[in-house]
Amino acid sequence: MAESDDPLMVALLLIDEKYVAKPQLAQYRGMVGQGLLRIANAIGRSRMGMEDAPDEWTLQCAKRPVGRAFVKNAMASVEAVYQALHEAMALGKICAEGAPPPDLTYLAIKGMASTLDSQSYLIEPGKYEDIKTESQEAVTGELGLELEDHRGALVVSDVKLGMPADGAGIRLGDRLVRVDDAPVAGLSVARAEELLRGSVGSNVSLTVERDGAGAPLTLAMARQAHRFQSVKFQFLRGAVGYVRVVLFHGQTAQDLVTAFERLQALNMKALILDLRDNVGGLLNAAIGVAESFIPRDALIVVVNGRGERRDEHRSQAAVPPFTAPIVVLINQRTASSAEIVAAALRDWQRAILVGTKSHGKGSVQSIYPLPGHYALRLTTAYYVTPLGKKIDNEGIEPDVVVENKDEQLAKALELLFKNAPSLQGK
């Protein structure tokens, strides 16, 4: 067995003990298979080959009669997985024939994590502190662009004037290929946007494909300080307040209270809560926002963890909730914490949901540091709405479907004026 400071063993134990579902044989096999593949690819086909047969994997040095077979059905425990990958790394160093091999340990860990789910992955050195800062504070390093998923391609849908992406020459319609050396193929919009953010002043290069360009373009820029306006608001006609929650971070609930105070001073009679394009954030922030609309002690969300673990989060609001009519706007980029709020308001019959089906990212991720300044992000639980609906991979269906984004706000106003007597004649 390895010592506790061995990153590979630490990662294996974390997956075995913390991941939302304890791995079984098929999962262990997948972890080994991906780990072996990453090791073989890192050494290079000219030095090391890998064969994937139905019952076993075989690694073989290309220029030396040295190899190792790994029986798939033997991979039934943490110890077996560790032993297989440890032996594969040792063989890789032999096959490298003196060429300095990359850090195979973290490549193996990256391969293992890739078999779990799209939200579980290895975090590179330097990213861990950035992620913690982004979660807790409103100031991060930003590039000033937004992405949309167009049939699997991550396409630039917005470039903010004066921000780094604008200055570097990023254009609407560019297809993002890489962030620094990391390919983005197969990543969700939310995951790709995490890669775009970082510490203020840090350098990053984006590789994009552009219609009419003969080859991909690589554009360098430095992240710029950007203070998130997590809550934006305005007063619409007919005493309707409009509040857009952009992201859920440590100040969002208080920002919402401030917006409410301003709008209620103008005699707000109804509310449109815009959660479109909100990719989520902190669970506590979502609970704090929901408390503005849901009575004290009412269930907001259930977090189902491993085995029988079940954590209920109820409103702890110190003041009475907002009771006027509400319409919530959602779309396919409404995710995670934003889905929690939308679902809670709908389950408690506090709001009508308008727009398109939400993203369906209803899982909890925890970040665990690894030796060597890496970290492992693991899915550790799933969100369930007050009425028992699972969000992850399911999403939230709107009550009123409006596909055209430009028509969704008008539909929300129409519904409020139709259903709220206090707005008649406004």
pLDDT at 138 over 80: no
122 falls within a domain: no
Final residue before a domain boundary, out of 166, 194, 227 = 227
Give yes or no: residues 73 and 92 share one domain. yes
Statement: residue 136 has pLDDT above 70? no
Q: Which of 114, 120, 292, 336 is catalytic?
A: 336
Q: For the ranges 205-214, 282-291, 364-373, which has the lowest average pLDDT?
A: 364-373
What pLDDT is recorded for position 2? 46
The SS3 of residue 271 is strand
Query: Is 304 in the same domain as 245?
Result: yes
Of the chain, the percentage scoring pLDDT greater than 70 comes to 93
Find the mean pLDDT for residues 261-277: 93
Same domain flag for 279 and 194 = no
Q: Is residue 373 part of a domain?
A: no
Could you tell me how many helices (H) and strands (E) the chain has, helices first? 11, 22
Looking at the fold, whether 196 and 339 belong to one and the same domain comes out as no
Exposure letters 275-301 (e unless 16+ CB within 10 A, then b): bbbbbbbbbebbbbbbbbbbeeebbbb
Q: Is residue 125 part of a domain?
A: no
347 is catalytic: yes
Q: What is the pTM of this model?
A: 0.71
Average pLDDT over residues 172-199: 89
| Strand boundaries in 116-209, DSSP class E | 121-123, 139-142, 145-150, 153-159, 175-179, 182-183, 203-209
277 and 406 belong to one structural domain: yes
Which pLDDT score is estimated for 1? 42
Q: Where in the sequence is the domain holding 112, given as residue range(s)?
A: 7-116
CB–CB of 94/82 below 8 Å? Answer: no
Please check whether residues 219 and 263 belong to one and the same domain. no
pLDDT digits (tens, 9 = 90+) for 15-34: 999 999 999 999 999 999 99
Domain boundary among 227, 253, 282: 227
What's the confidence (pLDDT) of residue 130? 58
Whether residue 105 sits in one domain with residue 82? yes
The last residue of one of the domains, among 116, 150, 183, is: 116
pLDDT of residue 189: 84
What pLDDT is recorded for position 193? Answer: 84
* Single-letter code of the amino acid located at 150: H
Identify the active-site residue in 72, 127, 361, 411: 361
Does residue 363 carry a catalytic annotation?
no
Total number of domains constituting the chain: 3
If asked whether residues 356 and 270 sit together in one domain, one would say yes
Asked if pLDDT for residue 8 goes beyond 50, the answer is yes
The DSSP line for 191-208 is HHHHHH-BSTT-EEEEEE
When the pLDDT of each residue in the chain is averaged and rounded to a whole number, the result is 90
What sign for the dihedral angle of Cα 31, 37, 40, 41?
A: negative
Give the CATH number for residue 408.
Answer: 3.90.226.10
Name the residue with higher pLDDT: 229 or 58. Answer: 58
Same domain, 62 and 79: yes
Residue 126 domain flag: no
Give the pLDDT band of residue 86 (cuts 50, 70, 90): very high
Q: What angle do CA 190, 194, 196 make, to 5 degrees?
A: 115
Asked whether residue 278 falls in the same domain as residue 403, the answer is: yes
- Based on the residue annotation, tell me whether 16 is a catalytic residue of this protein: no
Evaluate whether residue 415 is within a structural domain.
yes
309-352, pLDDT tens digit by residue? 889 999 999 888 999 999 999 999 999 999 999 999 999 999 99
Q: Is residue 340 part of a domain?
A: yes
173 and 144, same domain (yes or no): yes
CA dist., res. 103 & res. 256, Å (int): 46
Taking residues 143-154, report their average pLDDT: 89
CATH of the domain at 149: 2.30.42.10
Question: Which is catalytic among the residues 174, 277, 347, 392?
Answer: 347
Considering the domain boundaries, does residue 23 fall inside one? yes
Kindly report which listed range (6-15, 172-181, 215-224, 249-258) carries the lowest average pLDDT score.
Answer: 249-258
Asked if the model's pLDDT at residue 110 lies above 80, the reply is: yes
Asked if residue 132 has pLDDT above 60, the reply is no
Distance between first and last Cα of the chain:
74
Percent of the chain as helix, strand, coil, to the nearest 5: 30, 30, 40
Within a domain: 167: yes
One domain for residues 188 and 258:
no
